[in-house]
Amino acid sequence: MWLYVVALLLGLFLLRRWHRERQTVPRLSEKHVLITGCDSGFGALLARQLDARGLRVLAACLTEAGAAQLRAATSNRLQTVLLDVTSSKSIADVTAWVRERVGSGGFQDPGTPLGSLALRSGDVSASKGVPGARTRLLCAHDGMPGGCQELPLTPPSVSALLGAAAPADAPTSGRRELRPFGVRVSIIEPGGFQTRIIDPTPLVKDFVRLWERLPAEAQAAYGRHYVDKYAKSTTLLQRLSSSRLSHVTDAMTHALLSRCPRSRYAAGWDALLIFVPLSYCPAWLSDTLIGLFLPTPASAI
C-alpha cells in the first residue's frame, strides 16, 4: 500500500516539475542576452539558438572573422562586438557598449547592476529583465579554472566559480552570494564535447613546447614518457567526446528562458554517469580514478 502511495507522490512531483520547467518567460523579443566566445563552439551555437528564439543577442567575439561569420548566419537583431578578455581596455569598452544598447529599461531602479559579462568561451551568459530575477548568470562547472569572475557589469565581490575539482560547495556559495543582488545563477556541468579547447593538435604542440623549455632536471623528473602519455590521453579524450554541442546549449537555453530554471544542469552522458557522481565521491577515490588516466612522472613515489 505504502509503495503505491510513494509512487503516486513521486509521479505527481515529477509531473509538476515537468509542467513548471516547460513554462518560459514572456516577451522574449524584449530580452537582451550577452554571450562571450561566440567565434565558435558553445558560444556560437548558443548565439544562433537564442537569436532564432527572438532574443536580442549581444555576441562578443575575439576576431572580426568570427563575428562576420556569426552575423551571416543570424538575423539583424544579433549584434557583435570584439572582446579580448586579457585586455582591461577591451573589457571596459565592451562594458560601455553593452550599457549603451541595453540601457536601464529592464530594471526597477537605476542602481541595479546592469548584467554580467563572461570570461571564457561561451561558458557564461547573462539575460536582462527576466521576471523573477533581474539577471541570470550561467557558469560552466567543467574542471577548468576561470568560470565566472568579477567584471564591471557584475555586482561587487562576485566569487570565482572554479571547476569540478573545486570544493563541492563553491558554486552553491556563489549562487547564495549573488542572490541578494537579484542575480540567479545556474551552473552548467558539461561532459566532454568536441570544441577547440580539447583539440589535441594544438594542445600537444603547446605541451611539447613547454616541455622543451624545462631544465634538464625537471625533464628527468618527469621522463619523456610523460609527454607521450599526455598526447595519447588528449587524443583519447577528443575521440570519446561528443560532437553534439546542442546538449550543452539546450541546457543553457532552458536556464535562461525557463520561468523555473534549475540550479544545476549536467550535459552529456559522461557528465551524468561519471563526472557529476565523481565530484561527490571521497577525495581519495576520485583522485585514484582520475589518476588512472593521467601520466605519471618518472620520479613519482
pLDDT, one tens digit per residue, over 70-105 is 999 999 999 999 998 888 899 889 888 888 888 754
pLDDT, one tens digit per residue, over 183-218 is 777 888 888 888 888 888 898 999 999 888 989 888
Max CA distance (Å), the chain? 72
Whether 271 and 244 have beta carbons less than 8 Å apart is answered as: no
Closest residue by Cα to residue 43 from 162, 196, 152, 183: 196
Q: Tell me, yes or no, whether 235 and 290 share the same domain.
A: yes
Q: Tell me, yes or no, whether 288 and 205 share the same domain.
A: yes
Q: Tell me, yes or no, whether 176 and 70 share the same domain.
A: yes
151 assigned to some structural domain: no
Alpha helices in 120-245 (DSSP H): 170-178, 200-213, 216-222, 224-240
Domain span at residue 260 reads 25-124+133-145+164-191+243-267
Q: Tell me, yes or no, whether 138 and 203 share the same domain.
A: no
Give the helix/strand (H/E) hosting 58. Answer: strand 56-61
C-alpha 124/C-alpha 77 separation (Å) is 20
pLDDT, one tens digit per residue, over 117-132 is 332 333 333 333 333 3
Q: Which residue has the cell 528564439?
A: 53
152 assigned to some structural domain: no
Task: Specify the higher pLDDT residue, 127 or 138.
Answer: 138
CA angle (67 as vertex; 63, 163 as ends), nearest 5: 70
Q: Tell me, yes or no, whether 186 and 237 share the same domain.
A: no
CATH code for the domain of 259: 3.40.50.720
Q: In Å, how far are 46, 79, 134, 203 from 34, measured between CA atoms?
A: 11, 10, 14, 28
Task: Specify the higher pLDDT residue, 252 or 109.
Answer: 252
Total domains present in the chain: 2
19 assigned to some structural domain: no
Q: Tell me, yes or no, whether 210 and 198 share the same domain.
A: yes
